[in-house]
Structure 1
Amino acid sequence: MDMDKVRDEILEATLPNVVFDGWSMASLRDGAQQAGYDAGTLHRAFPGGVTELVEHFGAWTDRRMLERLDAMGLADMRVTDRIRHAVRAHFAVLELHREAKRRLIAHLAMPQNVGMGLRMLYRTVDAMWFAAGDDSTDFNHYSKRALLAAVLSATTLYWLDDQSEDHEDTWSFLDRRLADVMGVGKAMSRMGGLGRVLWAMPNPVRFARQLRQRTASAQAGNATTHMAENI
C-alpha cells in the first residue's frame, strides 16, 4: 500500500467535512470512510490524528504549488515575478478549499497550535524561495523568508474574504506588499542587523490574537482587508 497516496486520498476526502466539523477527529474519520479506508488504515496513515492531518495538508499544498510552478517555467522571469507566481500558485491550490483554510487559520491561532502554524508557514515560504531559485546560505536566507512570511500571512487574510472578480483585489494587494518588502529588503541589505528583520516580520502573538478575534465575531465584509493592511 502506497501510504503517501492513502494520506492524500484521506485528506482530500476530509477537506469538505472540515467546513462543517472543523479540523477534528470526526472530520478525519468521516473522510477516511468516504475515501474507502477502514479505521486501521486511518490509524496507520495518521497516527498523530488531527495534528498530523494538519501538517500533511501544509505539505500537500506545497507539493501542489510546486507542481504548478514546474509547469510554468520560471527561468526567464525576474525573482520578484517568480515569487509573485509562487504566491498565486499557492492560492490557486487552495481555491477549492477556502473554507477549510479559514477553519485552519482559526485552528492554528489557538495558543497550543501557534508554533505548528509558524513551522508550516516557514516551510511554505522556503518552498517558494527554493522554486524561485534562491540558493543563499548566509543571513539573507533567513531574511528573505521572514519578509515573504509577512507578505503571505497578510495576503492570506485578504484573499479569504476577497469577492472581487478573479481575486483581482488580492493580486493588487499582493503587488503592494511585495513592493513594500522589496524596499525593506534593500534598506536592510545596506544597514544589516537581525533586529530589522524581526521588525519586518508579523508579530505572531498579535497575529494569533487578531485571528481569534476575527473568528469569534462576525465582522463586516471589509474586516479582512482592514486587518491585513495593518499586519
Structure 2
Amino acid sequence: MSDTIRDQLLDAILPHVPFDGWTPAAFRAAAADLGMEKAVAETACPRGAMDLAIAYHRRGDAAMVAAMEASEMSEMRFRDKVATALKLRVEALDDREAVRRASALFALPQNAAEGTKLIWETADHVWTTLGDTSRDVNWYTKRATLSGVWASTVLFWLGDESPLAKDTKDFIDRRIDNVMQIEKAKASLKKNPITKPFMSLKDQILSGVKAPDKSRFANLPGNWNRPT
C-alpha cells in the first residue's frame, strides 16, 4: 500500500519540482493535489520530498533494467553491453529539471551519502542485469568504476542540448573506452616481469575481500522478505 501511495505522490510532486525543488513545500503541494491527508503522506514518505527524490531515481533504474531485459544484447561485446545499459539509463532521464534539482539535493553534505548510495545502486543494477558473477574484490571495483562513469554522465547530460542526447551517448562511449584502457594497462602490468610480483602481491592482499552475502542477513530481526 505504501508503495502505491509513494508512486502517487511522486507523480503529483513532479510538476512542482521545477518551481519548489524537492522540498517540504513541494511535498505538501503534492499531497494537497491528491486530497491526501498529511498523516497518510508522511507515513508513506517519512522524510517527505527526500523519499520521493529517491523513488524518482529508482524509478529510472527500474526503467533501465526493463529496457535492458527487453533488448537483444547477446551478440554485443561486453564493453558495448555496459555502454548500452548506461544509454538506456539516460533515456530514462525524462525530466531535466527534476534531475537537476535532485542532483543539487544529493550534493548537500547531509544528503551526500544517500546520493552516493543511489549512484552505486544504478551501477549494481547494470552489472547484476548483465549477469556479473564476480564475488571477489572485482565486485566492488566494477561498481565503483561504473558509479564514477554514471555520475559524470549525469552532469554532462544536464548541459546537453543535442537531439536525443546524442552528445551524452558519445560521452558514455568515450568514458567506457577510458575504463577499458585502464583494464588493458592492468593486464599489461600483470604480464610485465618487473611489475608482475607487485601485482601478485596486491592480488594476495585483496584475496580476502568478498562481495556482500545478502542471504546471511535475510532472516535477521529488522529485515523483511516480500512473500512469494
TM-score by length of 1: 0.76
Q: Is the 8 A contact 1:8 1:60 kept in 2?
A: no
Tell me the equivalent position of 1:161: 159
1:202 equivalent in structure 2: none
CA distance in 1, matches of 2:141, 2:172: 19
Question: Contact between 1:69 and 1:131, CA under 8 Å: does it hold in 2?
Answer: yes
Q: Identify which of 129, 132, 139 aligns with 1:134.
A: 132
Give the whole-Å Cα distance in 2 for the aligned partners of 1:149 and 1:188: 19
Report deviation, 1:32.
2.5
Equivalent-residue separation in structure 2 for 1:33 and 1:180 (angstroms):
48
What is the distance in 1 between the residues matched to 2:76 and 2:5? 36
Moved over 6 A (4+): none
Please list, as runs of the form range in 1=range in 2, the aligned pairs for 1:28-39 lying within 5 A after superposition: 28-39=27-38
Maintained 8 Å contact 2:123/2:147: yes
Structure 1 residue runs without a partner (length 5+): 195-231
Contact 2:9-2:52 at 8 Å conserved across structures: no
Taking structure 1 as reference, are residues 167 and 58 closer, same or farther at Cα in structure 2, changes over 3 Å only? Answer: closer
Q: Which residue among 86, 109, 112 is the counterpart of 2:110?
A: 112
Give SS of 1:16's match.
coil
Query: Which structure ranks higher in relative contact order (CA pairs < 8 Å, sequence separation ≥ 6)?
Result: 1
Tell me the equivalent position of 2:67.
68
- Percent of paired sites with the same residue: 36
RMSD, matched Cα: 1.9
Determine the C-alpha separation between the residues in 1 that align with 2:34 and 2:185: 51
Counterparts of 1:91 and 1:37 in 2: how far apart (Å)? 32
| Distance in 1 separating the partners of 2:19 and 2:58 | 23
1:172 CA drift (Å): 1.2
Match of 2:81 in 1: 82
The unaligned stretches of length 5 or more in structure 2 are 191-198, 204-228
- Structure with bigger helix share is 1
| Structure with bigger gyration radius | 2
Give SS of 2:92's match: helix
Report the counterpart of residue 168 of structure 2 in structure 1.
Answer: 170
Q: Which residue of 1 aligns with 2:213?
A: none
Q: Distance in 1 between matches of 2:132 and 2:34?
A: 38
Q: Is contact 1:23–1:104 with CA below 8 Å preserved after alignment?
A: yes
Residue 36 of structure 1: how far off its partner (Å): 4.5
Deviation at 1:49, TM superposition (A): 1.9
Report how far residue 135 of structure 1 moved: 1.6
Q: TM-score, normalised by structure 2?
A: 0.77
1:74–1:132 Cα contact (<8 Å) kept: no
Alpha-carbon deviation of 1:93? 1.3
Instruction: Give the letter aligned to residue 54 of structure 1.
Output: A
Partner residue of 1:103 out of 101, 122, 132? 101
